[in-house]
Amino acid sequence: SAVISQKPSRDICQRGTSLTIQCQVDSQVTMMFWYRQQPGQSLTLIATANQGSEATYESGFVIDKFPISRPNLTFSTLTVSNMSPEDSSIYLCSAIEAPQVNTEAFFGQGTRLTVV
């Protein structure tokens, strides 16, 4: 099973600044995703990170606010731009190795972001 590491695990940031979260998978995966989990809430899908092309964003999320990169099959980054206190959440990276064969999704432990 794939192991996903996220960095940083937590951070406290000033409003108006940006934070880049890294997601590293220990094996090549077909699909990678980014989720947000606000305090006491369920997970909300932000976008699908596509290798070598622009990410596919869900309704309510835009590239200017959450730029995503995926340079290869094992790594992705999510940037939270121009942060406000409303961006305080846990951000989770997820990956699926091979949707046609094994549909299990793996998740990182999340990045706990507090914006002050």
Interacting residues toward another protein by CB under 8 A: 4, 31, 33, 35, 42-45, 48, 92, 94, 96, 99-100, 103-110
Q: Which is nearer to another protein, 3 or 17 (CB)?
A: 3
Q: Which is nearer to another protein, 18 or 38 (CB)?
A: 38
DSSP letter for each residue of 17-73: --EEEEEEESS--SEEEEEEE-TT--EEEEEEEPTTS--EEPTT--TTTS-EE--SS
Q: Which is nearer to another protein, 20 or 109 (CB)?
A: 109
Q: Minimum Å distance from CB 45 to another protein? A: 6
Residue with tokens 């409303």: 86
List the one residue out of 99, 105, 102, 114 whose CA is nearest residue 43: 105
Q: Minimum Å distance from CB 104 to another protein? A: 4
Q: Minimum Å distance from CB 30 to another protein? A: 9
CA angle 59, 103, 71 (to 5 degrees): 60
Cα–chain center distance at 2: 16
Q: Which is nearer to another protein, 14 or 100 (CB)?
A: 100
Q: Minimum Å distance from CB 67 to another protein? A: 19
